[in-house]
Structure 1
Amino acid sequence: MITLVRQSVLPHFGIVAADARVAPLGNGHINDTLLVRWPGGELVLQRINTQVFKQPMALVGNAGMISRHLAVKAAAGQYDLKIVSPHPTLEGQLAIDLGEDGFWRAIAYLPHSHSIEVVQSAQEAELAAKAFGHFARALSDFDATRLEDVIPQFHHLPGRIAALKQAVAADSRHRLAQCRTWVDFVRAQQGLLSELAQVSPQLPLRICHNDTKINNMLFDKRDMSGMAVIDLDTCMKGHLMYDFGDMVRTFCSPEAEDSTALTRVRVRPEIFAAICRGYLAELGEVLTPLEKQSLWLGARVICLMIGVRFLTDHLNGDVYFHIQREGHNLDRAANQFTLYQSLLEQEAPLKACLA
């Protein structure tokens, strides 16, 4: 891939291949991400997975609009984080489509940035939640309907469960026998679907990040202060309870999302409380009363839903999420369902953090 980048991609961004150093960056599940450094600067180069993002121009267009809006807010003193802005091609385009060689875009690289995979302290959790809340607050006056849905019904639990049912019925890779217990577990969560159907239609549409993992918030490694919210690929209209839920999902466990040490996978209440403090410190005046009540629902829905997505991909043959080992997506699914169970077991004290 690096040879392809040097020969076919870098020239479109005005970079001489002989002068550039190219190396993999991060560990995302979907896109291929590279860090490019040359004497004139540095940028992040991404090959967008067009099997997942079937309208990649909509993706880069959404990200461009959000970056411009945040720049206006920053100029007015209303946005304190750094902005990950697009780096256009020599022709002034936000991306370049090379057909079979991929759809590529470049974005600014932020020096001194640092990401983490597992939250180690309540301070880290509160700082990151505050950053995601600050991001949402800055976008609260942006008309969410202006953004295109790059993945329609992305956070639609009934649709995700329907896809699981299809995967179970097909059992195309003959994997059902090894995960039938988890399939039955999902089927038993009908009460959550009913609650979601009642609450969701009453919530206002907001611009949501839709992927508020801890590694999508950058810290400044010089002092570990909050630096930037990154990865705007899934920014679409939706409900903020899902952004809250994804923070709970990715901040609260002391184990990584693919850990097989299920006895250690749990919701740490002190981390959950820190998320509530940080997020509500920024959005307390923005959220409607029902939105605030929905945050607990969002935490449960996201933990269950991502488990359903991992389980579905396992049954389908690992066609969506990158894997590093046999059964990787099944391990991820078991991990997320275990975290979901931990939420239910601690419902009373965790809900009290939102009061």
Structure 2
Amino acid sequence: MIDFIRQNVLSHFGVDADSAKVSPLGNGHINHTFLVRGIDSEFVLQKINTEVFKTPSALVNNAHKVSQHLQHKAAADEYRLQVVSPELTADGTLFVDLGEQGFWRAINYLPHSHSIDVVGCEADAEMAAKAFGHFSCALTELDAEQLEDVIPNFHHLPGRIELLAQAAASNPQGRLGECQQWLEYVMSQTELLQELVEVEAKLPRRICHNDTKINNMLFDKRDMSSLAIIDLDTCMKGYLMYDFGDMVRTFCSPEEEDSIALDKVQVRESIFGAICKGYLSELGAVLNDDERKSLWLGARVMCLMIGVRFLTDHLNGDVYFQIHHAGHNLERAANQFTLYQSLLDQQDTLSAYLN
């Protein structure tokens, strides 16, 4: 793909292909991401997965509105982090649509940045949670209706379970037998679904990041302080309990989300407490009582829901998430369901941190 980028994409961003260096960047599941270094420019280039993001222009426009708002807040000394913003094309547009050859956009590269995939200590968990809370707090003044839904019903557990049931019924790849136990486990979680219906009806919709994984918060490698919140692709209307829940999902386990060492996959209480402390230090005065009560629910829902999505993709033939070997999505699903069960096993202890 790098040769294709050199020959067909770089010129749209005013970069000389002969002098530029292009290298893969990050380990995202959805888009293809590269670091481009030209003679006098350095930026992140992405090919948007249009099978996942059906309206990629809405994604880019949403991210632009969010970055503009945060830049205004930063100029007024009301936002402490650096802002990820679009790099315009040579024609002054936000993206290049090459049809079957891809939908491409560029964003600024932040030097001195560093990301991690597994949280090692309470201090990092608290710092990252505080940064995500600060990000959400800064966006409370931006009208959520200005943003389009780039993936309708993105965090909708009943819909995700229905899609899983459809994949199991059709079993297009003949994989149902190897994951029957996990399918039955998901279908047994009826009480969670009923609780979710009752709670969501009480919550305000706000602008959410919707993908608060630990590696979407960049550290400044010079002093390991928080530097920036990145990956604004799924910024849209939603419920903050899911942002909190995705932090719990991706911060709390000592194992990466595709680890097959399931005996080591568990929620670390100290990390959970650090998330609560950092997140509520920024958003505690913003959240209403119903939102604060919903955070524990969000933690449980996100662990189960991501497991459901991985399992569905496995049954469908791995058409959504990028995989690196056969059975990768099934391994991810088992990991997430194990983490979900760890939450349930520690419910009384963990939920007390939110009181």
Please state which band the TM-score falls in when normalised by the shorter chain: over 0.9
SS of corresponding position for 1:15: coil
1:202 Cα offset (Å): 0.9
Give, in whole Å, the separation in 2 of the partners of 1:181 and 1:241. 28
1:141 Cα offset (Å): 1.1
1:231 Cα offset (Å): 0.1
1:130 Cα offset (Å): 0.3
Q: Tell me the residue number matched to 1:125.
A: 125
SS of corresponding position for 1:280: helix
Residue deviations 1:108-166, cap 9 Å, x none?
A: 00000000000000000000000000000000111111100000000000000000000
1:90 Cα offset (Å): 1.1
Backbone CA RMSD of aligned residues: 0.4
Q: Tell me the residue number matched to 2:100.
A: 100
Matching residue's letter, 2:30 = I
Give, in whole Å, the separation in 1 of the partners of 2:228 and 2:334. 31
Q: Tell me the residue number matched to 1:313.
A: 313
1:218 Cα offset (Å): 0.1
Q: Tell me the residue number matched to 2:337.
A: 337
Q: Tell me the residue number matched to 1:55.
A: 55
| TM-score normalised by L of structure 2 | 1.00
- Please state if 1:304 is matched with 2:307: no
Q: Tell me the residue number matched to 1:196.
A: 196
Matching residue's letter, 2:170 = A
Matches within 5 A, 1:5-154: 5-154=5-154
Matches within 5 A, 1:250-269: 250-269=250-269
1:189 Cα offset (Å): 0.1
Equivalenced residues, count: 355
Give, in whole Å, the separation in 2 of the partners of 1:101 and 1:94. 17
Structure 1: which 5+ runs fail to align?
Answer: none
Residue deviations 1:144-197, cap 9 Å, x none?
A: 111000000000000000000000000000000000000000010000000000
Residue deviations 1:298-331, cap 9 Å, x none?
A: 0000000000000000000000000001100000
Q: Tell me the residue number matched to 1:228.
A: 228
Give, in whole Å, the separation in 2 of the partners of 1:88 and 1:41. 12
SS of corresponding position for 1:62: helix
Matching residue's letter, 1:247 = M
Give, in whole Å, the separation in 1 of the partners of 2:298 and 2:234. 17
Q: Tell me the residue number matched to 2:277.
A: 277
Give, in whole Å, the separation in 1 of the partners of 2:279 and 2:208. 13
Give, in whole Å, the separation in 2 of the partners of 1:53 and 1:93. 19
Matches within 5 A, 1:210-249: 210-249=210-249
1:71 Cα offset (Å): 0.5
Structure 1 runs (4+) greater than 6 angstroms displaced: none
| TM-score normalised by L of structure 1 | 1.00
Structure 2: which 5+ runs fail to align?
Answer: none
Give, in whole Å, the separation in 2 of the partners of 1:123 and 1:60. 33
1:41 Cα offset (Å): 1.9
- Please state if 1:170 is matched with 2:160: no
